[in-house]
Amino acid sequence: MVDRTATQRETAGACTRGGDGTALGAADWLSLAAAPTFATMALLTSVLGGGATDMLCTSAHPSPLGGMVPMYLLMSAFHLAPWLKFVSRQRAARMRNHV
C-alpha cells in the first residue's frame, strides 16, 4: 500500500526545488488575483448597489459591518498576503541589484 502523505510531500518538494517551475509560477500569479478581484467587487457593489443580495445580508443583523461591500473589503484584506510577499521580494531584489 502506498503512503499518500509521503507521495504528496515528495511531489510538493519536487515543485519547490524546481521540478515544474511553470506550475508553481502559475499558482503564484493566481494567488495574486484574489485581492484585486474582491476589491473590484466591493467597488462595483458600492457603486451599482447590492440589490436583493445586499438586502438579505443586512436585514437580519443591522450593523456597520453588515452588507456585501464590507464583506468584499474584508475578503480583499485577508487575501493581501501574496501581494505583500510579492512586493517584499521585488524590493529585496532591487536592493541586491543596487549593492
Q: At what angle do helices 68-78 and 34-48 cross, to 10 degrees?
A: 160
Runs of H (alpha helix) within 17-67? 21-31, 34-48, 52-59
Taking the model in full, what pTM does it have?
0.60
H or E stretch at 11: helix 4-16
- Counting residues of the chain whose pLDDT is more than 90, the rounded percentage is 31
Q: What is the mean pLDDT of the chain?
A: 75
| 50 SS3 class | coil
User: DSSP class of residue 1?
Assistant: -
Task: Collect all residues with Cβ–Cβ distance below 8 Å to 40 and sequence separation of at least 6.
Answer: none
Residue 24 confidence class, pLDDT cut points 50, 70, 90: low
The answer for 56, left when phi > 0, alpha when psi is -120 to 50, beta otherwise, is alpha
Alpha carbons 24 and 99: distance in angstroms, whole number: 29
Residue 75 confidence class, pLDDT cut points 50, 70, 90: very high
